[in-house]
Structure 1
Amino acid sequence: MGLICRRVPLLLLATFAGVATASAQMDAEPRRDQAAPDTSVVVGKDENGLMKAYTIEFGDEKDWIQLLSGEWLRGNVERMRDARLDFHSDEIKEITYDWKKVQQLHSPKANTYRFTDGTKLVGPAMINKELVTVQTETGIAMRKRSELNAILEHTPREGDYWSTVLRVGLTANAGNTENLSFNAFWLLVREDSLTRTALSYDGTFGTADRTEVANRHLGSGEVNVFVYPGIYVIAANAQLLYDKFQNVRLRATPAAGAGFQLIATYVVDWKL
């Protein structure tokens, strides 16, 4: 597959030379012995000799992230939420990183960047240790990285906020005894920049020698509201259970609460 390069200009205006210089320079230079985004900086000056603008150009249409090790990865940002970044590339497929371990992010795509005060920005962006710089339709906007709550793909279509998972299993054997086991799992999720709603069903049915030995069905629903990086409120949570062989005809369990992302890596995902 060939590499298609495209330059996406990002124009920033600044009043003082010190501010523009700090914004233009990323905290760590890419290692030249590795593949890295081709990012150039063009500086302009006003009549007083002060820097008034610069242009940052992306090297191609893919997203780039730089880890604390200095390594650059090329691929696609799936999302950043719960203080973790889901990233997909052709080489490593999908992997999850602790957001604190990502030094820089270059994304020429129009993503949605949501902040802790409830506001959001949409457009191509560059993120370093201190700043989130987004090229919006109305101009350049800069926010502190510490205020960034989530990154999600921007889409005008409602259907793009939805995803689903369906798993069905059937096991049967015949001989001295005839056993049959059927199970099904279904998950439906709607996720936007502020909330995530999930509905699920988990059911099991089994027989042995044509006698029913398992009949259990569990439905659940949960609504999470993300209020700060790694912190979310469980606005609603409910479970509905039927289990014939535990004498549970119908049990409802409503709840609410809050959660905290304690550890988020591609090996460990620990929530409280």
Structure 2
Amino acid sequence: MNVLKIFKLFSLILIVTFAGIPSADATNSTAAPGDEQTVSLPEKTKENSTDTKPAPSPISMPSFESGAPRWYPPKMAPAKWEWVELTTGEWLKGTIKVIRHDNMEFDSDNFDTIEIDMKDVLQTYSSTVNTFVFTNQRLVIGVGRITKDQVIIDTAAGKMYYPRQQLISVVVGDRTEFKLWTGTLTAGVSSTSGNTNQTTVNLQANLKRRGAFLRIETNYYGNIGTTNDVTNVQNQQVNLQADLFIYDRFYLIPASFEFYSDIFSNIDTRYKPGVGVGYQFFERSELEWQVNANLLYQRVRYVSTTGNEPPVFESAAFSIGSDLKYDITSDITLHANYTITLAVPATSYLDQQGILKLDVDITKHVSVNSTANWTRIGNPIASSDGVVPDKNDLILTFGVSLDF
């Protein structure tokens, strides 16, 4: 009971912390920068290091010393394009996907998605509505232009000017809730016939919300299989986690939840609600890696037990998880997830899970993939007939995914 009291106290501390975060103020443009990581100013080039005058207007069409006219994007550029000028004088045409952690993800028809250090970006032109995140939890929504020392945003309240060194990130879109969500649906089927008629169906789903400060992700894994019309595989799992970024890469987890069921492991239902903290080590176009630590309450109901075991097991638990996404090439992506959960004080209940998934893009919205899902139950409980389930389960699946 003392462990459960500690769990409740820890939850209360996180809730109080979450409630105390200041609300976004989109009108206060004079607040001093905080300790958050902001974007870099452009590095000085030979051209602008000797020029003490303000940057020329695109309308004036200035010339280089050699006499060649300097090019600027058309004033009435198509709304679907955005322009980025590098400190080298080169221009890129495409779409700014996100600016975060002093890096810009830029999508071009020729280069696909590339990553650019903000110190190499001189200015940007855009005609789309985006969400700009500044220091002190300030959000500004509008059509913005980033110059070498300012961020100029056309908002519903008028034109706003902010120092570039106070910009933390740019999120694509106007924070309309629907635009913040993306998802993936995966289905796979395997079948054998002959001496044994085996059919296995696998279903996976992922739904993710990415906002300026709040990120929510839900995953579903389900498998069902039959041999000669007799069910021999039946398990499913649902994970939900909300991440609230409060300082650069550090975030709170005000809510997490897991549901798991595997009839042939003698687990009818297993629930794990919890809270925790996490840290985003990398968030780049080709690499994402984060680590979480959660304090949980778990409740397991078994399908059946012998007379020596209760039908329900309850305890507090502590878990550590790692989630990695790596783009091997522009079309091949590796996902690796590992979680270890330790029950307290029943430390013999040490559960582990590792998921390895390889995606190969066929089109922009369709991919083929293979998944290896390994689970280990630290202390399997014998069913009423005395059979003890194996500790390890490994499921290999192949499927087709649809991104939306």
Q: TM-score higher than 0.5 here? A: yes
CA contact (8 A) 1:98 1:265 kept: no
Deviation at 1:150, TM superposition (A): 4.0
Question: Which protein shows a greater Rg?
Answer: 2
1-structure distance, mates of 2:247, 2:92: 26
Provide Cα deviations, 1:74-107, integer angstroms capped at 9, x if missing partner. 21123335665443222233x2637656634432
1:97 has 2:115 as partner: yes
2-structure distance, mates of 1:257, 1:128: 39
1-structure distance, mates of 2:272, 2:139: 35
1:126 has 2:145 as partner: yes
- Identity value in percent: 23
Deviation at 1:192, TM superposition (A): 3.1
State how 1:164-203 maps to structure 2 within 5 Å.
164-203=183-222
Closer, same or farther in 2 for the Cα pair 1:146/1:206, shift >3 Å?
Answer: farther
Q: Partner amino acid for 2:283?
A: A
Partner of 1:17: none
Cα RMSD for the two superposed structures: 3.5
State how 1:21-170 maps to structure 2 within 5 Å.
27=43, 40=58, 59=74, 60-61=77-78, 62-65=81-84, 72-81=91-100, 85-93=104-112, 95=113, 97=115, 103-104=121-122, 105-127=124-146, 130-137=149-156, 138-154=158-174, 157-170=176-189
> How many pairs does the alignment contain?
227
Closer, same or farther in 2 for the Cα pair 1:230/1:175, shift >3 Å?
Answer: same
Deviation at 1:214, TM superposition (A): 1.8
Q: Secondary structure at the match of 1:91?
A: coil
Bigger strand fraction: 1
Closer, same or farther in 2 for the Cα pair 1:259/1:220, shift >3 Å?
Answer: same
Q: Secondary structure at the match of 2:126?
A: strand
1-structure distance, mates of 2:227, 2:103: 45
1-structure distance, mates of 2:138, 2:121: 23
Q: Secondary structure at the match of 2:272?
A: strand
Q: TM-score, normalised by structure 2?
A: 0.48
Picking from 223, 229, 232, the partner of 1:204 is 223
Deviation at 1:251, TM superposition (A): 1.3
2-structure distance, mates of 1:257, 1:82: 23
Q: Partner amino acid for 1:250?
A: T
Closer, same or farther in 2 for the Cα pair 1:193/1:28, shift >3 Å?
Answer: same
Which sections of structure 1, spanning at least 5 residues, go unmatched? 1-24, 32-37, 43-56
Partner of 2:284: 265
Q: Partner amino acid for 2:280?
A: Q
Q: TM-score, normalised by structure 1?
A: 0.68
Deviation at 1:173, TM superposition (A): 2.3
Provide Cα deviations, 1:43-71, integer angstroms capped at 9, x if missing partner. xxxxxxxxxxxxxx853242234568875
CA contact (8 A) 2:43 2:87 kept: no
Q: Secondary structure at the match of 2:178?
A: helix
Provide Cα deviations, 1:198-228, integer angstroms capped at 9, x if missing partner. 2221111122333333211111111122234
2-structure distance, mates of 1:76, 1:270: 24
2-structure distance, mates of 1:151, 1:214: 42
